[in-house]
Amino acid sequence: MKLEKAQRHTLKIIAIFFAVSLWFYVLNSEPVEIEKKIQIEFLLPKGFAISSQAERHLQLKLKGSKAFIGNVFTNKEKLVIDLVPYYKKFGKNFKVLYHPSQISVPFGVDILEMNPREVNLQIDRLVQMELPVKIQYIGNMPYDRKFKEVSVEPQNIMVSGPIDVLKRLSRLETNPVNLSTIEKDEGTITVPLEELDSRLTFAENPKIKLKYKVQLTVPKRESLKRD
């Protein structure tokens, strides 16, 4: 009985020894360097939006044991920056500095580089504005065809963003519609909007539909009747 108990203790000690040896091997193995990109999320004061162009991702250069570094930032981690204290202290214009201590990494992994290291931000009042939709056209229809009726749905779209950015817009333009590809006498085309300024957002995902009817501009010739 005592012999079996001693053997069990011996096996436990051997297992612990191998575990500790493996741990030290992992820690002292040749470190590797990788690059990762994480998203930056800014927490804004209520009723405000970022009006300056700001990079929303942070490029990181990491160094550490291969056993640990492979699972870094696999869950879409974010760097969250609260801008409320900056606004209270500096107003609408301020600089935010990034530091490795703001980012949580596993034991044995170091952050060697961060890009960018800082960002200059400007915030302004968040407003909503309804803007008309403008269809853009390229190409031409055949000489004997033209639009008889054209309608756009919706005609206006609600956009939100910083006031100094929104007030520069007078309309929302679509990607060009190629008139030479319209062959039917009537139909509906879904037209995407041009890419919106990253500082602006739509109240809801817009789907622009162009409904049209085409008519002939040259009358058909009547067939000649024989006597």
Q: End of a domain among 75, 95, 125? A: 125
Same domain, residue pair 101 and 138:
no
Parent domain of 69: 30-125
Whether 21 maps to a domain, the answer reads: no
Mean per-residue pLDDT of the chain: 83
Q: What is the pLDDT of residue 177?
A: 93
Render pLDDT for 88-137 as a digit per residue (tens, 0 to 9): 999 999 999 999 989 888 777 888 899 999 999 999 999 999 999 999 99
- Whether residues 141 and 193 fall in one domain: yes
**pLDDT surpassing 70 at residue 6:** no
CATH number at 106 reads: 2.170.120.30
- Contacts of residues 187-190 at CB distance under 8 Å and 24 or more positions apart, as own/partner, are 187/211, 187/212, 188/212
Indicate whether 17 belongs to any domain. Answer: no
Q: How far apart are CA 37 and CA 60, in angstroms?
A: 6
CATH code, 172: 2.170.120.40
Tell me, what DSSP letter sits at residue 166?
Answer: H
DSSP summary character for residue 145: E
pLDDT of 200 reads: 93
Q: Which pLDDT tens digit goes with each residue over 125-171?
A: 999 999 999 999 999 988 888 888 999 999 999 999 999 999 999 99
Give me the pLDDT at residue 204, please: 78
Q: How far apart are CA 135 and CA 37, in angstroms?
A: 37
Amino acid at 18: F
State the pTM of this model: 0.69
Pair (110, 133) in one structural domain: no
Q: Which of 102, 125, 148 is the last residue of a domain?
A: 125
Whether residues 131 and 171 fall in one domain: yes
Per the model's pLDDT, the better-predicted residue between 182 and 65 turns out to be 182
Positive or negative, the CA dihedral 195, 200, 201, 207 is negative
Q: What is the pLDDT of residue 183?
A: 86
Q: How many domains does the chain have?
A: 2
Q: Do residues 146 and 119 share a domain? A: no
Which has more pLDDT, 193 or 5?
Answer: 193
Other beta carbons within 10 Å of 67:
16
CB atoms within 10 A of CB 44: 16
Domain annotation covers residue 139 = yes
Does some domain include residue 138? yes
Both 113 and 140 in a single domain? Answer: no
Average pLDDT over residues 39-64: 91
Tell me, what's the pLDDT at 227? 46
